[in-house]
């Protein structure tokens, strides 16, 4: 009983201290809070700029004790200077994801000082797919067939494919069509560099998901009316056949 009493005192003290350091500006749409092993994605707003930052557990960041006790989407404002963060800084907890995974893909989205990098990292935090960063793209082998059949120079690839923007808008799909997406990877201009990289990783029967940055997709130009400039693309691919 004494142990329980002491525990309640500690909880009450910690709860009474936190509001002195910050005030809640807006609650998020969920009360979900991060787990101790999660990396945090936060947005910082001060008088000069707005930026996005990733915080990992045990980094000794001065605001960790606050952020691990608020909800995803909550927006707070500091009432005092805390470490590198000035008083009146607004901080929003955008999302959280297990730190081990985020460390694995973080080098692919750093630095976070460009609009596309921010959109990429927000997508990677929120999607259920656990991607791996390879050769400039993010991939997930959903199904590995073990067929051992891979393309060679001038092979014809026949692929069941869906392609969409980060927001989910479809760009291209073979679903419901009697034809597959077909191309010769060795012929210039038939596929983007990012899609060619994915094909190099796949064997017949494999199913992959891929997240490809705009620099390896349609770049600064995009495709008028279909793919906006500087747009990363999400692919879901099944390699049906290779004609050698």
pLDDT in tens, 24-66: 999 997 778 899 999 999 999 987 788 999 999 988 888 998 9
Question: Residue ranges of the domains in the chain?
Answer: 22-113, 132-243
Q: Does residue 23 register a pLDDT over 50?
A: yes
If pLDDT is split at 50, 70 and 90, which confidence band does 174 have? very high
Cα–Cα–Cα angle for 125, 126, 132, rounded to 5 degrees: 50
Sign of the four-CA dihedral 108, 111, 116, 122:
positive
Q: Which two tokens stand for residue 217?
A: 């997709």
| Residue 111 confidence class, pLDDT cut points 50, 70, 90 | low
Q: What is the model's pLDDT at position 18?
A: 56
Give mean pLDDT, residues 216-230.
Answer: 95
Mean pLDDT of 128-152: 96
Same fold, 22-113 and 132-243: yes
CA distance 68 to 38: 9
Q: Is 160 exposed, middle or buried (0-12, 13-18, 19+ CB in 10 A)?
A: middle
Cα distance between residue 88 and residue 204, in whole Å: 56
Is residue 75 classed as helix, strand or coil in its secondary structure?
A: strand
Q: Given pLDDT bands bounded at 50, 70 and 90, which one contains residue 17?
A: very low
Q: What is the pLDDT of residue 16?
A: 42
Place of tokens 């947005």: 43
Q: d(Cα 158, Cα 239) in Å, to the nearest integer?
A: 6
Predicted confidence band of residue 185 (pLDDT cuts 50, 70, 90): confident
CATH node for 22-113: 3.10.50
Instruction: Tell me what pLDDT residue 10 has.
Output: 39
Fold of the 132-243 domain: Chitinase A; domain 3 (3.10.50)
- CA 12 to mean position of chain CA atoms: 36
Confidence of residue 103 (pLDDT cuts 50, 70, 90): very high
- What pLDDT score does 114 carry? 85
| Long-range contacts, stretch 76-80, CB < 8 angstroms, 24+ apart | 76/22, 76/23, 76/24, 76/25, 77/22, 77/23, 77/25, 78/21, 78/22, 79/20, 79/21, 79/22, 79/23, 80/20, 80/21
pLDDT confidence of residue 225: 93
**Across the chain, what does the average pLDDT equal?**
89
Quick one: which of 98, 128, 125 has its CA closest to 112? 125
Q: Which pLDDT value is given to residue 19?
A: 61
Asked whether the predicted pLDDT for residue 9 surpasses 70, the reply is no
pLDDT of 105 higher than 50:
yes
Sequential DSSP letters for 116-182: HHHHHHHHHHH-S---EEETTEEEEEEE---------TTPEEEEEEEEEETTS-EEEE-TT-SS-EE
- Give me the pLDDT at residue 8, please: 39
Report the distance separating Cα 90 and Cα 95, nearest Å. Answer: 16
């Amino acid at each position: 009983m004494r142990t329980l009493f002491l525990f309640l005192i500690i909880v009450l003290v910690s709860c009474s201290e936190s509001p002195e350091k910050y005030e809640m500006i807006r609650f998020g749409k969920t009360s979900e809070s991060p787990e101790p092993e999660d990396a945090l994605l936060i947005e910082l707003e001060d008088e000069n700029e707005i930026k996005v930052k990733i915080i990992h557990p045990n980094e000794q960041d001065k605001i960790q004790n606050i952020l691990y006790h608020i909800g995803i989407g909550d927006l707070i404002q500091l009432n005092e200077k805390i470490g590198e963060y000035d008083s009146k800084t607004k901080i929003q907890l955008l999302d959280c994801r297990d730190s081990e995974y985020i460390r694995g893909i973080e080098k692919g989205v750093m630095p976070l000082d460009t609009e596309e990098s921010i959109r990429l990292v927000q997508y990677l935090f929120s999607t259920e797919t656990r991607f791996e960063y390879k050769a400039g793209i993010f991939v997930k082998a959903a199904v590995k067939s073990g067929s051992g059949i891979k393309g060679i120079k001038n092979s014809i690839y026949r692929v069941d494919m869906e392609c969409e923007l980060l927001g989910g808008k479809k760009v291209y799909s073979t679903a419901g069509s009697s034809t597959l997406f077909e191309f010769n990877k060795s012929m210039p201009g038939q596929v983007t560099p990012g899609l060619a990289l994915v094909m190099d990783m796949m064997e017949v029967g494999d199913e992959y998901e891929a997240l490809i940055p705009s620099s390896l997709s349609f770049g600064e130009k995009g495709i008028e009316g279909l793919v906006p400039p500087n747009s990363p693309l999400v692919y879901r691919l099944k390699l049906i056949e290779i004609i050698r």
